[in-house]
Amino acid sequence: MAAGAAGASKTYSFKVVLLGEGCVGKTSLVLRYCENKFNDKHLTTLQASFLTKKLNIGGKRVNLAIWDTAGQERFHALGPIYYRDSNGAILVYDITDEDSFQKVKNWVKELRKMLGNEISLCIVGNKIDLDKDRHVSVQETEAYAESVGAKHYHTSAKQNKGIEELFLDLCKRMIESAQADERAKGNGSSQSATARRGVQIIDDEPQAQSSGGCCTSG
Amino acid sequence: MSLKSERRGIHVDQSDLLCKKGCGFYGNLAWQGFCSKCWREEYQKGRQKQIQEDRELAERLQREEEEAYASSQGAQGTQPSLTFSKFEEKKTNEKTRKVTTVKKFFSSSSRTVPKKENQEAKAPSPSINRQVSIETDRVSKEFIEFLKSYQKAGHDVFKQCKICLEAMQQKREASIEEQSEYVQDFYQNTAEKLQLRWKMPSEKVEDVMDQIEKFIMTRSYKHVFCPETTDDEKKDLAVQRRIRALHWVTFQMLCVPVNEDIPEVSDMVVKAITDIIEMDSKRVPRDKLACITRCSKHIFNAIKITKNEPASADDFLPTLIYIVLKANPPRLQSNIQYITRFCNPSRLMTGEDGYYFTNLCCAMAFIEKLDAQSLNLSQEEFDRYMSGQASPKKQNAENWPPDACLGVKQMYKNLDLLSQLNERQERIVHEARKLEKDLIDWTDGVTKEVQDIVEKYPLDIKPKSQPLAAIDSENVENDKLPPPLQPQVYAG
C-alpha cells in the first residue's frame, strides 16, 4: 500500500525502521545521512527520531521516511507497533560490541516471523573507525546476513563511510519489491477494489467516467 | 478493463454500444452513447440545455443546504446560502466549457432518467444534517468554500461526501469495524479518483483529502467516537485507573533525559501535557494528530534544552511515557482507536504525524504492561509503591529543588516527621512487648529456680517423736544403767 497509486510519474513512499540496541549509533547514522552532520554541537535539527529524505533513483522519485525506534531492552516488546507496514529495516550493531550483534539476530528472527519476506533487511556494522577494538567477526556477520536473506554493510557515521551506499541500495531493493508486488497484483488490485465496492452505485459510475475521460484526453 | 466492460454489460444492451445516431461506429458512454464525431455535433446542441439543467440542479442543491442551515441555526442560516450560490455560479460557468455534468455521476448509461435518479439519490440527504451544531455548520461552510477552487472536481467531491454521510447514517447500527472500513474505502476511492480522474498533483490530493476527512468526521464524530457497541469506554476507565495507580513513577525510574529544574524545560513539559490533554477536545482525527505532534515537539524541545543534541527515539519514547503518565489524558484509548479507525491511512502510516501517533500507541502499550522490571525496581518495591504503602518521592526530599513550592516542601518535611514518629512509635510498641515478655520470663524464671532448688533440696519433714522415743526405749545401754531409782519409803 505504501507504493501508492499507479502512474507514469509515480512517487514511491517507503517506511524504514531503524532497529538496534542503544549506543550503537543509530541516531548518528541517520543524522549523517539526512543532515550530513556528526556530533555537531550546533545542530539545528530538533530531533533525529523521524527524518525524511527525498531521492531520485533512475528517474524514480522516492520519499524515504526513517523511523527511529527506542533501543532499550524494556521497550523491546513494543517493536511490532513500530515496524508494522514498513518496507525496510536497518538493523544496526556496534562492531566493538558482541551483544549488540546478538540483539540484531533477535530482531531479524522477529521481523521475518512477523512480516515474512516482504521487508528488505539491512544489517549494519557501525563504528568501523574503531576497527582495532573489533569484537564481531566480519565472516560471521556476513555469513549470517546471507543466511537470512539480508544485506550486510559496514559503516562509520564518524567518517561518513558506507552510509550513502547503504541507503541507496536499500531503496533500490525496496523499489524492486514494490514493483514485483505490483506485477503480482497486476490490474487485479484496482479491480478487486472496485468489485468490492461495486454494490454502491456511486462508486461504480465515476469509474465509467474516468475511462471516458481517458479517451477524450488521449 | 475487461472486467469493467463485463460489468457494464449487465445493464447495457449490445446495440447500445453502437453510436445512437446509427452511423455504424461504436459509441462511448462518456459521450452519452454517441461516437466521437456525432457527439461533437450533438454536444453543441445539447450544451444550452445542459446549462439550464445544471442551473436547476445547482439551485436544488443550494436550497437543500439552506434548509439544513435554516433548520439548525435559524439566525445564521442566511450566510452560507450566499457563499454557496457563488460557488454554484462559478461552477455553472465552468460547465459551459466542459462536457461532463454532475448528473452523470449518478447515472452513466441513461440520460433519460437523470432527474429521477438525482432525486432518489438526494431524497434522504436532507435528513443527515439535521442534528448539526454550530461547529458542524462552520465546517460545512468552510468545506464548500474550500471546494470552490476545485470547480467540477469540488462539486463531485461534495456529492460523494454527502452520499458517504448518508451511508454512514444507515450503518449506524453496524459494527464500528464495518463503519471504519467503509470510511477507509471511501478515502481510498476518493483519493484515487482525484489523482486519476481529475489529474490532481499529489500535494493537492492530500489537501482535499484533509478537508474531506474534516467534513465527514465532524459530522459523524458523535456516533463513531467511543461508540456504545464497543467496550472502549470500559478500557478508557481501566487505562485511567492504571495511570492513576502509577502516579508515583518518577522520571529517574523511566530514565527520562529531561531536567525539570531548568525553568524552560519544565515549561515545555507543562505545554506538552496540555497538548496531549487537549487532544480529547478535537473532533477531526487530523486535529487530534496535530495535538500529538505539538506535544511531541515540546518534548523534543525539552530534551534538546537538557541534552543539547537532537533527540533520538531512545530519549523520546521514555519522555512521552512520562508525559502521558503525568497528564493522564482523558479517554486515551478511545482517542487512539478513533484515530486508527477514521484517520486518512496515508497520513497515519508514513507521515511524521503517524510516527508520533505510533509512539503514543507504544507509550500506552508500555503503560498497560509496565512492571517492576521495566522500571528497574525490585518486585517488592514495585508492589509497595503500587499499593500506596510507600512513596519513592520521600527519598528525593533531601535534594528537592530550591524553587519548589514551599507548601509542598513543608508537606514532605511533615511526611518525613510523621514517618519518623511512626517508626519511633513502632519501636516503643516493640519495646513494650519485649518488656512484657521479659517480665513474664522473669516470673517464670523465678518460679523455675525455686522449684529447682526445692527439688534439689527436698524438704523431708521426718517425724520428730521417733528419735525421741528411741532415746527412751531402744537405748542399748539402758541395761548398763543402774536401775532407776525406786522411791523408797522411809519410816519416819
List the single residue in A70, A194, A213 with the smallest CB-CB distance to B314: A70
How far away is chain B from the Cα of A144, in angstroms, using its nearest Cα?
Answer: 27
With b meaning 16 or more CB within 10 Å and e meaning fewer, what string describes A52-66? ebeeeeeebebbbbb
A215 in contact with chain B, both atoms CB, cutoff 8 A = yes
Write down the ipTM of this complex. 0.81
Residue with cell 479518483: B193
Strands (E), B62-120: none
B310 touches chain A (CB under 8 A): yes
Residue appearing with cell numbers 512520562: B322
Is A208 in contact with B160 (Cβ distance < 8 A)? no
Residues in chain A closer than 8 A to B345 (CB atoms): 1
**How many angstroms separate the CA atoms of B360 and B492, rounded?**
147
**Distance of alpha carbon A218 from its chain centroid, rounded?**
37
**Partner B contacted by A199 (CB < 8 A):** no
Closest chain B residue by Cα to residue A202: B106
Which CA distances in Å does B418 have to A46, A55, B248, B389, B429? 46, 65, 19, 14, 16
Distance CA B416, CA B391 (A): 11
Across the interface, which of A48, A67, A82 has its CB nearest the CB of B311?
A48
Chain A contact set for B31 (CB, 8 A): 212
Instruction: Determine the 3-state secondary structure of B402 from DSSP.
Output: coil
Is-contact B236 B226, C-beta < 8 A? yes
Show residues of chain B in contact with A52, CB under 8 Å: 352
Q: Which of B312, B347, B362, B364 to mutate to test the interface with A (most CBs of A within 10 A)?
A: B312
- Backbone angle region of B243, left / alpha / beta, with phi > 0 → left and psi within -120 to 50 → alpha: alpha
Give the pLDDT confidence score for residue B435 in this predicted structure: 95
User: Chain B: residue nearest A63 by CA?
Assistant: B350
DSSP state of A95: T
**Burial of B299: CB neighbours in 10 Å, binned 0-12, 13-18, 19+:** buried
Q: Is A1 on the interface with B (CB under 8 A)?
A: yes
B14 CA to centre of own chain: 56
Terminus-to-terminus CA distance in chain B, angstroms? 183
Q: Which of B4, B193, B301 sits opposite A206 (nearest CB)?
A: B193
What would the CATH number be for the domain defined by B231-387?
1.20.1050.80
d(CA A61, CA A58): 8
Give A-chain residues touching B108 at CB under 8 angstroms.
205, 208-209
Fold of the domain built from segment(s) B15-67: 1.20.5
- Is the minimum CB–CB distance between A36 and chain B shorter than 8 Å? no
Alpha carbon distance B202, B126 (integer Å): 33
**For the ranges A6-20, A118-132, B445-459, which has the lowest average pLDDT?**
A6-20
Residue B419, SS3?
helix
Return the amino acid letter for B416.
Answer: D
Measured between beta carbons, the chain B residues lying within 8 angstroms of A37 are: none
Sheet of strand A151-154, all strands in order from the earlier edge strand to the far edge: A50-57, A60-68, A11-19, A88-94, A120-126, A151-154
SS3 of B13-58 = CHHHHECCCCCCCECEHHHCCECHHHHHHHHHHHHHHHHHHHHHHH
Quick one: cell of B330?
482523558
In this structure, are strands A50-57 and A120-126 parallel, antiparallel, or unpaired?
A: unpaired
Residue tagged 487537549 (cell numbers): B278
Set of cell numbers at residue B28: 462511448
More confident residue, B204 or A101: A101
Residue A189 contacts B, CB cutoff 8 Å: no
Residue A157 to chain B, least CA–CA distance (Å): 15
CB B180 within 8 A of CB B230: no
Rounded CA gap, A82 and A12, in Å? 20
Residue A218 forms contact with B (CB below 8 Å): no
Among A5, A31, A49, beta carbon nearest to B192: A5
| pLDDT given at position B481 | 74
B10 in A contact zone (CB under 8 Å): no
The architecture (CATH level 2) of B136-224 comes to Orthogonal Bundle (1.10)
With beta carbons less than 8 A apart as the criterion, state whether A105 and B393 touch.
no
Structural domains of chain A, with CATH: 11-179 (3.40.50.300)
Choosing among A12, A50, A69, A73, which should be mutated to test the B contact, i.e. which has the most B CBs within 10 A?
A50
Chain B 280-299, residues with CB within 8 Å of chain A CB atoms? 297
User: CB distance from B361 to chain A under 8 Å?
Assistant: yes
Instruction: Provide the 10 A C-beta neighbour count for residue B230.
Output: 14
Predicted pLDDT at B479:
67
Per-residue cell: B480 = 548398763
Helices (H), B247-344: 263-278, 285-307, 313-327, 332-342
pLDDT for the residue B316: 92
Rounded to 5°, the CA angle B276-B339-B122 comes to: 130
Q: Which of B7, B202, B362 sits opposite A78 (nearest CB)?
A: B362
Alpha-carbon gap, residue A28 to A70, rounded angstroms: 14
Out of B3, B358, B374, closest to residue A81 by CB: B358
Are A30 and B314 in contact by the 8 Å Cβ rule? The answer is no
Q: Which of residues 64-83 of B touch A (CB under 8 A)?
A: none
DSSP one-letter code for B309: S
pLDDT at B492: 58
Grid cell in block for residue B166: 448518508
- Name which of B189, B316, B351 is nearest A49 (Cβ-Cβ): B316
Helices and strands: H and E segment counts in chain A: 7, 6
Q: Model-level pTM?
A: 0.64
B111 CB within 8 Å of a chain A CB: no
Instruction: Identify the residue with better confidence: A217 or A52.
Output: A52
pLDDT tens by residue, chain B, 492 residues: 444 444 444 555 566 667 777 777 777 767 777 777 777 777 777 777 777 777 777 777 777 777 766 665 544 434 444 445 555 555 445 444 444 444 444 444 444 333 444 444 444 444 444 455 777 888 888 888 888 887 788 888 888 888 888 888 888 888 888 889 999 999 988 888 888 888 888 788 888 888 888 888 888 888 888 888 888 888 999 999 999 988 888 888 888 888 888 888 889 999 999 999 999 998 899 899 999 999 999 999 999 888 888 888 888 999 999 999 999 999 999 999 999 989 888 778 778 899 999 999 999 999 998 888 888 888 888 888 888 777 765 544 445 555 567 788 788 889 989 999 999 999 999 999 999 999 999 999 999 999 999 888 877 777 665 555 555 555 556 667 777 777 877 765
Size of interface A-B (CB pairs under 8 A): 159
pLDDT in the model for residue B71: 64
Nearest CA in chain A to B253: A74
Q: Which residues, in sequence order, are bridge partners of residue A47?
A: B311
Strand segments, DSSP code E, in chain A are: 11-19, 50-57, 60-68, 88-94, 120-126, 151-154
Q: By three-state DSSP, how is residue B443 classified?
A: helix
Q: Which of B152, B253, B355 to mutate to test the interface with A (most CBs of A within 10 A)?
A: B355
Nearest to B108 among A81, A200, A209 (CB): A209
Asked if the C-beta of A191 comes within 8 angstroms of chain B's C-beta atoms, the answer is yes
Cα dihedral B360, B363, B365, B371, rounded to 10, equals -170
CB-based contact B70:B117 (threshold 8 Å) = no
Residue B131 Cα distances to B68, B214, B227, B284, angstroms: 9, 17, 17, 17
The answer to whether the Cβ–Cβ distance between A27 and B192 falls below 8 Å is: no
Are the CB atoms for B183 and B342 separated by under 8 Å?
yes
Q: Are B288 and B357 in contact (CB under 8 A)?
A: no
Q: Is B420 helix (H, G, I), strand (E, B) or coil?
A: helix
Please name the member of A15, A43, A46 whose beta carbon is closest to the beta carbon of B350: A15
| Mean pLDDT, all residues of chain A | 80
Q: Which of A5, A205, A216 sits opposite B105 (nearest CB)?
A: A205
